[in-house]
């Protein structure tokens, strides 16, 4: 079997045992440092990857929070617009002595209005909007604008009937009014 270079140099007398031990120790230290650098670099790579992943997750959470805040702000702005439209365009319903029944959220509700407001409600010129647990009378155009802005706000509006009576109907000349009170 072939001897190592170190053993050959020792046998030839070109170096002594002390020098050989010192060289072996330096080689061992160099290997150990190299090994530590490898493990440190892999650990730092893993740490860097975890940090990047955590940063990406935090950015995604922040984007979601900002999106929710923006949606809330838009919703509040729409509610403020609706509230302002109701305040500006509502029709006063003082001195109401006629009960007007209407359907809102599958329930029959009743408000008291005057005769001319009752006629306008029956013809679909006015609409009833529920806002803050109170009923407001608004012109139909304003109610349509509110419906466009927020479809969740309850609005009751009579649809004007444009039906033509049949030619064969014997009671065609006797029209029954929409707001007939029994």
- Angstrom CA distances, 169 to 39, 45, 164, 172, 175, stand at 97, 89, 11, 5, 11
- pLDDT of the residue at 72: 95
- pLDDT of the residue at 165: 60
**Sign, CA torsion 137/138/139/143:** negative
pTM: 0.56
Residue carrying structure tokens 């950015």: 59
CA distance 54 to 60: 10
Q: What would the two tokens of residue 38 be?
A: 């490898």
- pLDDT of the residue at 161: 60
Residue ranges in the chain whose pLDDT is less than 50: none
- pLDDT of the residue at 61: 96
Q: Which of 179, 91, 169 is nearest to 135 (CA)?
A: 91
CA distance 140 to 126: 5
- pLDDT of the residue at 66: 96
Q: What is the pLDDT of residues 130-172, one digit of tens each?
A: 888 888 899 989 989 888 888 888 888 887 665 666 667 777 7
Q: Are 126 and 55 in contact (CB under 8 A)?
A: no
């Amino acid at each position: 079997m072939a001897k190592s270079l170190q053993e050959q140099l020792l046998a030839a007398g070109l170096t002594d045992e002390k020098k050989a031990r010192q060289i072996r120790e330096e080689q061992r230290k160099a290997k150990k440092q190299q090994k530590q650098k490898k493990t440190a670099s892999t650990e730092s790579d893993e740490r860097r990857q975890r940090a990047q992943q955590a940063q990406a997750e935090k950015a995604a959470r922040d984007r979601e929070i900002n999106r929710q805040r923006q949606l809330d702000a838009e919703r509040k702005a729409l509610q403020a617009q609706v509230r302002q439209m109701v305040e500006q365009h509502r029709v006063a319903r003082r001195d109401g002595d006629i009960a007007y029944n209407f359907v809102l959220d599958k329930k029959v509700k009743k408000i008291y209005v005057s005769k001319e407001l009752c006629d306008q409600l029956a013809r679909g010129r006015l609409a009833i909007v529920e806002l803050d647990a109170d009923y407001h009378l608004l012109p139909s155009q304003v109610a349509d604008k509110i419906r466009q802005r927020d479809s969740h706000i309850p609005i009751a509006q009579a649809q004007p009937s444009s039906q033509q009576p049949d030619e064969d109907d014997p009671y065609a000349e006797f029209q029954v009014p929409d707001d007939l009170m029994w």
